[in-house]
Structure 1
Amino acid sequence: MDTLTTILQSAWAALPALLLGTRLTIGFALAAMLLGLPLGLIVAMLRLYAPGWLARLAALYVSFIRGTPLLVQIFVVYYGLPSLGITLSPLVGGVLALTLNAAAYLSETMRAAILSIGRGQREAAYSLGLNRRQAMQLIVLPQAARVALPSLGNSLIGLVKDTSLVSVITVVELLRSAQLVIARTFEPFGPYLAAALIYWALSSLLEVVQRRLEVRLSRGAS
């Protein structure tokens, strides 16, 4: 009982520092998602409609990102780029690495969603006098967004957890905040447990938002 009390007390004492780190965790996840979505859409469109070499280049980018660990990508961006004369702050380097990683996975989600829209939808749009760009913008993409929403929501939840990796480049997000508290108190269980609960709470909240958006979009489609 005394041990449990000690753990709970250490978790409670760590909470103010962890909440400060949580703000940065949320900021990293949202920034990477907001920047990764348009980049991912561009990559998806290149793979679907660009000339051969551009499509192959986009496919190579996706293959490299999906085939290497995010931690290695963070090291390449933050520690590798200075060798080329490009020095980034931990915040910028972390956001850039997360964005490049997210964009590759999001591009596959959006590419699959676009391909799921039947050819007849495009042909109907052309018969109404819409050109290719208008058909994509007004007909295909809105329907593809509805199809892609569950996977996009899962990607955002994954991003929240992936932000813990930027702690290795001294970004004081949620996990790094817990580590700093532990370095002062020498009590690891409570701060780590509190950090885990905060990650869980954030993921659960995003799941609720995702389900509500899915219900709203499904009503609009009916």
Structure 2
Amino acid sequence: MSFDLDLVLSYAPAIARAFGVTILLWIAGSALGAALGFLVALARRYGPRWLNLALMLPVELIRGTPFLIQVFLLYYGGPFIGLSLGNVPAGILALTIYGAAYYSELWRAGFEAIPKGHVEAAECVGLNRTQTVRRIILPEMTLIVLPSMVNMTILLLKETAVLSIISVPELTMTVSGLGTQYYAFVESFTILALLYWALVEACGAAGRMAEARLSKWQLAIR
């Protein structure tokens, strides 16, 4: 057996399209999930007790069940409640909901990590709750939770592979099709692993750069 590079190159346009779909799913799911998770954490932190309890149940349910089952239920069970989505929108929604549950816990931990003295100082100078969150809490907590957020974002990238079960034309489905069609499993899974590894490294590098810039910004304002 030998590594057939010509076969991989002939399949390059399809792989490039699938690579683009994977990036779309990943970025959209991560961004929407982080935003929704922040809103959930904010509501649980500052909302009434009943709202905290009401939001805690779906968060724990999503965190306690496999992503594969959630995708199946959303895509195949959605029409029973009037939610009929194409495979790509369903994939983005599934990643958003799944990511939001985990991001919300990271944001919540960030809220709790802010020293009470900083919040009290903001209140003493006349800042209201919205101003305190925007000017004091959010910048500080972002630096605290950033490494964990990057790790979660990387996990969401890997979870995009699960969406192949609902025929989303992302990397895993497309490259696996190459292996099945031509019995080129070594070539296909080697390329698949390298592409995912490149995306993970890019995400990690972006996270380290963002953390360094935030650290410099915090030092500059002190």
TM-score range, shorter chain: over 0.9
- Listed as ranges, the gaps of 5+ residues in structure 2 are none
- Listed as ranges, the gaps of 5+ residues in structure 1 are none
Percent identity, please: 37
Equivalent of 1:125, from 122, 137, 147? 122
Residues 194-217 of structure 1: per-residue CA shift (max 9 Å, x gap)? 011100011011111111111111
Corresponding position of 1:4:
2
d(CA) in 1 for partners of 2:72, 2:217:
44
Residues 137-175 of structure 1: per-residue CA shift (max 9 Å, x gap)? 111111111111111111111111110111110110000
- Please show how residues 49-60 of structure 1 align to structure 2 within 5 Å: 49-60=46-57
1:70 aligns with 2:38: no
Residues 50-86 of structure 1: per-residue CA shift (max 9 Å, x gap)? 2122101111111001000001010111001111222
Corresponding position of 1:33:
30
Say which structure, 1 or 2, has more relative contact order (CA 8 Å, 6+ apart).
1
Alignment-mate amino acid for residue 140 of structure 2: Q
- Count of residue pairs the alignment pairs up: 219
- TM (normalized to structure 1)? 0.94
Alignment-mate amino acid for residue 119 of structure 1: K
CA RMSD of aligned residues (A): 1.3
Kept after mapping to 1: 8 A contact 2:99/2:156: yes
SS state of the match for residue 171, structure 1? coil
Displacement of 1:32 after TM fit?
0.7
- TM (normalized to structure 2)? 0.94
Displacement of 1:184 after TM fit?
2.4
d(CA) in 2 for partners of 1:16, 1:189:
19
Displacement of 1:9 after TM fit?
4.3
Corresponding position of 1:189:
186
d(CA) in 2 for partners of 1:218, 1:166:
36
Corresponding position of 2:85:
88
- Please show how residues 1-222 of structure 1 align to structure 2 within 5 Å: 3-6=1-4, 8-222=5-219
